Amino acid sequence: MAARTKESAQKNLAVNRQASHFYHFLEKYETGIELTGPEVKSIREGKASLKDGYAVVRKGEIWLVDCHIGAYAAGSYMNKDSLRDRRLLLHRQEINKLMGRTQEKGLTLIPLRFYTRNNLIKCEIALAKGKTVFDRRETLRRRAIDREAAQEVREHRRRHSS
């Protein structure tokens, strides 16, 4: 039983924390990613950034663009360009679905995180719609209200528990 929990354990290697601030996520997909050996080692060392990255559909394939993966220190001549386009691996029916959806106005594919699953590096992407300035302010306002309410509850419990 312990082996099963170990197999399904996921470790985040890189997270796009700004994505939820700028986008509403409609659907999320787990994808494989085509990498070279030094890129895998570099990601495992934490030298990846998804901040400016996005995914596009080209010739029936999905490509990760502007995702920075730093050079591996011991990689020698095998190191590739740190901003090169990398192919994402999805099932054909998922690619066809995303091809249609990304052509709609305002929808894009955003990488959310790199993580490991069964010792393989996976990329989670989301079909997303950009938030307006009003939406971003509303999210911050809602978060502040929730934080204040939780603080009031904690203080109330502290006062009445003694």
Same structural domain, 76 and 143: no
Same structural domain, 77 and 109: yes
Question: CA-to-CA distance for 63 and 82, rounded, in angstroms?
Answer: 15
Same structural domain, 63 and 42: yes
Question: CA-to-CA distance for 43 and 80, rounded, in angstroms?
Answer: 13
Task: Give the global pTM.
Answer: 0.73
Confidence at residue 1, expressed as pLDDT on a 0 to 100 scale: 44
Length of the chain: 162
Same structural domain, 159 and 97: no
Pairing mode of beta strands 120-130, 107-117 = antiparallel
Domain that holds residue 144: 132-162
Same structural domain, 94 and 146: no
Say if residues 153 and 135 touch (Cβ distance below 8 Å): no
Total count of domains within the chain: 2
Confidence at residue 120, expressed as pLDDT on a 0 to 100 scale: 87
Confidence at residue 148, expressed as pLDDT on a 0 to 100 scale: 92
Say if residues 14 and 113 touch (Cβ distance below 8 Å): yes
Chunked mean pLDDT (size 10), the chain, 162 residues: 55 84 88 85 86 88 87 71 84 89 85 89 89 84 92 88 69
Same structural domain, 62 and 105: yes
